[in-house]
Each structure stands twice: as C-alpha cells, then as structure tokens.
Amino acid sequence: MSSKKMSFEESLNRLDEIVRHLEKGDLPLSDSLSLFEEGTALLSACSKMLDEAEQKVMKLRKGPDRTPVELPFDEEET
Amino acid sequence: MERQVFSVTELNNHIKGLLELDPMLRNVCVRGEISNYKIYSSGHHYFTLKDSESSLSCVMYRYSAEKLRFRPENGMKIRAFGKVDVYSRDGGYKLYCSILEPEGTGDLQIAFEQLKARLEAEGLFRAEHKKKLPPFPDSIALITSGSGAAVHDMIRIIGHRWPMTKVLVMPVRVQGTEAPPEIVGAIRYANEFHIADLIITGRGGGSMEDLWAFNDERVARAIYASEIPVISAVGHEPDVLISDYVADRRASTPSNAAEIAVPDWREIRDCLDSLDIRSRQAIHKKLSQISQRLESLSTKRVLNDPTVYIDNRRLELDYRIEKLNSCMERQLRSKRHIFETKGTALDAMSPIRVLSRGYSITENEQGAVVHSVDEISPGDPVKIIFRDGQASCRVLSTAKGE
C-alpha cells in the first residue's frame, strides 16, 4: 500500500488499525513483520507531513468565467 | 339666525385642517397594544392600538412596513410613531405610522425571537441535520471580512495548530444591507465549486445591529443548505445568533472556530509517538514470544539427538515383532493340540496296535486281506502277518462257524 497517496486521516486510521492488529498478537510472524513495516512507513510519512507543513493562505475570487481563482491573500483588502 | 351648512367633505376637510395646525399631531408617539392586525394585498398594514379604555385606528403604508424588522402581532405592546390625520372618506381619524417599536425589548430582539421560533418549528436547528466536521480538513473557506482581527486570528490559529490545512479567504461584507446577500452568495459559491472541506463564517464582536447579518433568514437558509459543513463564529462568547443555531457547529468566537476546525499538531504528534511505541512493543512482544518458543523447542531431545527418532522406531518395531511371534506361537500351540488329539484317535484305530494285542492278519496269494473263511480253501497259500513278522502257510482245512 502506498502511503504517499493516503490522506493524513487515512494514514492515521490505518496506523490505528495496524497497531490494534499487532497488539492482538494472533497473526503469523511474517504478517506481523510486514504490518510493522507498513506502520513504520506510515509513521514516517505522517511525521514528514507534520514537519514539512507550511501554511497556505489564498484569497478566492470569482473568475471571469465564474470559476474560482486563487490569489495571494492581501491583508489590506476588504 | 341663518345657519351655515357644510357639505360632508367640507366639514371633514375643516377638521383635517384643524388637526394639521397642531404640530404635535404631525409627529406623535403612541403607546398601546396591537389588535386586529391585518396586511392587505396592497401591502399596507391596518391595525388598532388600544389600551384599557380606548382604541385608535392605525395604518402603516407599505413603504414603511417593509422596513419593519419584526412582525407585529396581536397582543404585542408597541410604540407607534407617526402623524394623526383625517381619512376624509369615512370621516375617521387615524394614526399614520412610520415606525413601530416593541415596548420593553428592542425590535431586533423581537425579530430574532420570531425568526428563531419559525426556523426552529421548520426543523432547521435539528441535530440530525448537523453534519460531522472533517477531523483533518485539507482546506477551509473563511467567509468573513477580508480585513480586521477575525480573519487574521483565524489564519494565525489554523496555521499554528494545523499548517497542513489550506486557508481560502472569501471576503464578504459582514454588516449593512449588502452583507446577507454577499454571505449567502459566498456560501453557495463555495458549495457549487466545492472549494473547501469546511466553511467558517462569522465576524468579530459588535453591537446587535452590527452582527445582524448573521440573524438574517437568507443567511440562515444558505447555511442550512450548505453541503459543506459550516461553523458559525460570530462576535463574543455570549452572542448567540440564528447562524449559530443553524450551523453544524457553533463557535463562541472566530478564534474558537479555528480551534474547533483543526486539530493541534502537537497532540497528533503525541498520538503518532504513542502509536509508534505501541507498534514497537507489539512487534517486540511477538518476537520474544517466538524466540521463547524456539528456545523451548530446542531443549526437546528429538532436535538434539537425531538417532532418538530411529531408536524410538526400532523399539516400536521390536515390540511389534514380539507381538507377532507370540501370536504365531499361540496359533501353533492350538494347531498342535488339535493334531495330537486326532493322532491319538488315529492311533487307536491302527492295525499295528491291533496286532500288538495278539491279533494277526491273513492275506491271500494276491496280498488281499482275508475277511472270511469262505475266501480260502484247503491247500491255498496264505500269508499271516504278526506284530513283528510274517509267516507263509498253507491252509490245511476250513470249518465254518465256532
């Protein structure tokens, strides 16, 4: 499963699921290990998302064809 | 005395003129209770103001009535502002109202209570209509003034808590008559293009008048109709507006809305850390269980000494051979017993046993046993067989019977 394509929420839910499976302890060792590996990858992907996040603030305007246009948010405007 | 005779119109106009002379009647304020309130199809409102002893006919023309912010109702105590004039057609005088104000509570308060009651009765505030807020919104639309503290507080707090969320500011006016249609337009537009996962609409604190756009029925209905969850964030803590009732979530202030809208990354980091620890502990436990099992298996003899298996098999084989042997022996014994019994019986019948008791057998020349005296004649050679030998003889004579 590619963790890149998952949203933060999906990743967190999957992580929760993985940990619960691991804690149940009834899986064969090879399955446990591959779950653990998946969990580790998800954890580092989530951490990376947290570390690298940079807030984006845009102003939304209706374009000439009515579709939305994003402009940089200018603090002075009303 | 010659009397002056007026026409009806002349008299009414005379009285009308007298009333018009009194400046007080041109701008009067009357307190009373509304009864017989009627709105005509023309749009003019007719009613009677009364107190315990008296009543006064009133009218409010459409252009004044349109400015009413609450709905006058029978039994409501109000103050009416206007002028007194004669209605020539029926010779009555009326109060021509320009403004009505509820007595005691303000008209805005009344208007608020009335709209609230109406929308509540329609079910717009019901919990089952409330949508769940996304726990980690990718984007949030801020439908508020593009300037002022509210929008900056929200941007700052969202960025501080969860910088992954993109903030889209949709600037609108938040007070004045243009505010409600602009807020409504922005909510609908955000939905049409699904601009964000969550909408926060609101403004900073102000007077009841300033906040009034968020008590507007059109705004309330737009919030209700929004497919995107809406947080209402108007004014200060104690201000509760219609938008707060109809929104999926009420925030006490714009800053509070930002806190509700996104999680705090520090808490999520803690949560990730604890998931990390738990998964490590779980896998560690699994591995140590496996190694314990390995250890306990390795102490078993079969794994240490490979000949054990063969030895065990050999023992088993020996046991089986033993069992087979004893079984055969038993069979043999019983066969032998049968044989011996039969042998004894046979022995009793044996001619040799007979001969040993002194009997003998006579055979003729052809070697056939002679059973009767009739089979031989005098002079015949015979062979007599004894237990221990034989003799060749010749019959001397024969005699039958004893």
- The per-residue DSSP string of A14-71 comes to HHHHHHHHHHH--S-HHHHHHHHHHHHHHHHHHHHHHHH----EEEEEE-TTSSEEEE
pLDDT band of residue A75 (cuts 50, 70, 90) is: low
Does B251 lie in the same domain as B159? yes
Of B247, B263, B279, the residue that ends a domain is B263
> Nearest CA to B226 among B185, B258, B168, B171?
B185
Phi, psi of B6 (to 5 degrees): -100, 150
Does B148 lie in the same domain as B100? no
Residue of A nearest to B265 (CA): A50
Phi, psi of B109 (to 5 degrees): -60, -45
Give the CB-side neighbour count of residue B226, counting CA atoms within 13 A: 40
Core vs surface per residue B67-91: b (16+ CB within 10 A) or e? ebbbebeeebebebbbbbbbeeeee
Does B259 lie in the same domain as B143? yes
Does B143 lie in the same domain as B98? no
Question: In angstroms, what separates the C-alpha of B221 from chain A's closest C-alpha?
Answer: 22
Does B80 lie in the same domain as B190? no
Confirm if B220 and B124 have CB atoms less than 8 A apart. yes
Of B231, B248, B263, the residue that ends a domain is B263
**Beta bridge pairs of residue B45:** B39, B60
Distance, C-alpha B391 to centroid of its chain: 123
Which pLDDT value is given to residue B238?
A: 78
Which pLDDT value is given to residue B94?
A: 93
Between helix B217-225 and helix B107-122 the angle, nearest 10°, is 30
Query: Where in the sequence is the domain holding B383, given as residue range(s)?
Result: 354-394
pLDDT in tens, A6-41: 888 899 899 999 999 888 888 888 888 899 899 999
Of B43, B78, B104, the residue that ends a domain is B104
Cβ contact (<8 Å) for A29 and B135?
Answer: no
Q: Could you say which DSSP state residue B49 is in?
A: E
Please give the share of chain A, as a percent, with pLDDT higher than 90: 21
Type and span of the H or E element at B121 = helix B107-122
Q: What domain count does chain B have? A: 3
In angstroms, the CA A72 to CA B239 distance is 32
What mean pLDDT comes out for the span A44-50?
88
Which pLDDT value is given to residue A4?
A: 47
Q: Is residue B347 part of a domain?
A: no
- The per-residue DSSP string of B101-164 comes to EESSS-HHHHHHHHHHHHHHHHTTT-GGGPPPPPSS-SEEEEEE-SSSHHHHHHHHHHHHH-TT
Does B157 lie in the same domain as B41? no
Does B183 lie in the same domain as B89? no
Q: How many CB atoms lie within 10 A of CB A42?
A: 22
List per-block mean pLDDT (blocks of 10 residues) for chain B, which spans 402 residues: 86 90 91 92 93 92 89 88 89 92 78 91 94 95 93 95 95 94 96 96 89 94 97 87 95 95 93 91 87 83 74 86 87 87 77 78 88 88 88 88 69
Which pLDDT value is given to residue B138?
A: 93
Is B367 buried (19+), middle (13-18) or exposed (0-12) by CB count in 10 A?
exposed
Say if pTM beats, i.e. exceeds, 0.90: no
Which pLDDT value is given to residue B204?
A: 92
Does B252 lie in the same domain as B164? yes
Question: In angstroms, what separates the C-alpha of A22 from chain B's closest C-alpha?
Answer: 6
For the record, the structure tokens of B26 come out as 């041109």
For the record, the structure tokens of B106 come out as 């303000």
In angstroms, the CA A50 to CA B270 distance is 12
Does B191 lie in the same domain as B91? no
Q: Is residue B96 part of a domain?
A: yes
Does B88 lie in the same domain as B167? no
In angstroms, the CA B74 to CA A1 distance is 69
The CATH number of residue B255's host domain is: 3.40.50.10550
The CATH number of residue B42's host domain is: 2.40.50.140
The interface residues of chain A toward chain B in range 8-67, judged by CB-CB distance below 8 A, are 8-9, 12, 15-16, 18-19, 22-23, 25, 27, 29, 32-33, 36, 39-40, 43, 46-47, 49-50, 53-60, 62, 67
Which pLDDT value is given to residue B165?
A: 94
Chain A residues touching residue B155 (CB < 8 angstroms):
55, 57, 73
Which pLDDT value is given to residue B61?
A: 94
Does B151 lie in the same domain as B89? no
ipTM score of the complex? 0.82
Does B232 lie in the same domain as B144? yes
Which pLDDT value is given to residue A78?
A: 43
Tell how strand B230-234 and strand B249-251 pair up: parallel
Q: Is residue B235 part of a domain?
A: yes
In angstroms, the CA B258 to CA B47 distance is 48
Q: Is residue B383 part of a domain?
A: yes
> Nearest CA to B183 among B133, B155, B221?
B221
Confirm if B349 and B329 have CB atoms less than 8 A apart. no
Q: Is residue B345 part of a domain?
A: no
